[in-house]
Homo-oligomer: A and B are copies of this chain.
Amino acid sequence: MRCLYIRKDSMKDTYALVIHGGAGTITRKSMSSEKEAAYRTALNTALTAGEQLLKKGAKAIDAAEAAVRVMEDSDLFNAGKGAVFTHDGTHEMDASVMDGNGRRAGAVAGITSVKNPVCLARAVMEQSEHVFLIGKGAEEYARTLDLEHAAPEYFSTEFRKAQLMRIRDTGRTQLDHTEEDHKKYGTVGAVALDTSGNLAAATSTGGITNKRFGRVGDTAVIGSGTYAENGVCAVSSTGWGEYYLRAVAAYDIAALMKYGGRSLDEACAEVLNGHIAEMGGDGGFIAVDSLGCIAMPFNTEGMYRGYAKSTGEREIAVYRK
């Protein structure tokens, strides 16, 4: 189905929200029922936080930020609390947001002490004259704002520490591994369409376990990890960041719709299973278009995901169907 551009008055109560908590080797075999239940609960809480705002007529950017914030605050996901450890035993977090209304954007990378990196990214978008701030300078900017800070221990969990210990001595700079050392792309994200027709996207990550050298993936990069444009779509990526950067993945979906006439589904599939897969990458996307059509494609074994629509449709899912 083609879902593009035209928004009718009959859509004035239409909203949609899609979230993800990362894609990767997430299989029934590798997951206890308790753990799966915990993930489902957390995803549900994030979805509700965003949906309640949309129901009240709040802006898409508010809903996307709220949903991501809940996942940052959960230690289950690799973002905010529960972020993976760097090689040096620290946390370096990246986040970005984009408001499709005016294509405004904010992004931060290498954040160590801000409780919710997604809120810092939003502040960069709305309160600074810039789009992208990194490292110590971004931290310095955060201290000029009324934002919650947190000590390094806040972000740390025993599970993530054990992950680092297992792989640090291998010398590999690796992705966020599951307990079985299979690959998993630890990112959280949300995309939303609000009742005024605005689109927005937000993405946040702790990066990859044992990372060195100030590595930044696609999550901090507008066009790769996050993109939103009213009348087209909003996209949040989760996957092997280096491939998403080279593919300019999130904007590629929008470009295929704008210039190539693809539907949201077609565009997502073409970028994920075409462009990214051909380069050797994998992962997933969540996306919503201006009519409220949604897509949650992934080519890994699972992706923590969920959506809620003004039609009452709602779903939380983890595995491939």
Which residues of A are at the interface with B, using a C-beta cutoff of 8 A?
Answer: 98, 102-105, 107, 109-110, 128-138, 140-141, 173, 212-217, 221-224, 227, 241-242, 245-248, 251-252, 255-256, 258-260, 279
Contacts and interface: CB of A to CB of B under 8 A. Distances in A.
Given A134-B135, A259-B256, A103 B215 contact: no
Contact of A213 (B140, B246, B256, B279): B140
A172 B137 CA distance: 16
A212 B128 CA distance: 11
Contacts of A279: 102-103
Contacts of A246: 98, 103-105, 131, 222
Contact of A252 (B140, B173, B221, B251): B251
Contacts of A133: 213-216
Contacts of A136: 135, 214
A214 B137 contact: yes
A273 B105 CA distance: 20
A140 B256 CA distance: 39
A153 to B, nearest CB: 22
What is the count of identical protomers in the complex? 2
Contacts of A241: 131
A132 B98 CA distance: 20
Nearest to A275: B103
6 contacts: A107-B245, A131-B242, A134-B216, A138-B214, A251-B252, A255-B258
Smallest CB-CB A-B distances: 9 pairs = A137-B214, A255-B255, A259-B260, A223-B248, A259-B259, A141-B213, A135-B135, A137-B213, A134-B214
Given A105-B245, A258-B259, 5 more contacts: A130-B213, A135-B135, A137-B214, A141-B213, A221-B222
Contact of A215 (B110, B132, B247): B132
Contact of A134 (B110, B128, B130, B223): B110
Given A223-B251, A251-B251, A259-B256, A132 B245 contact: yes
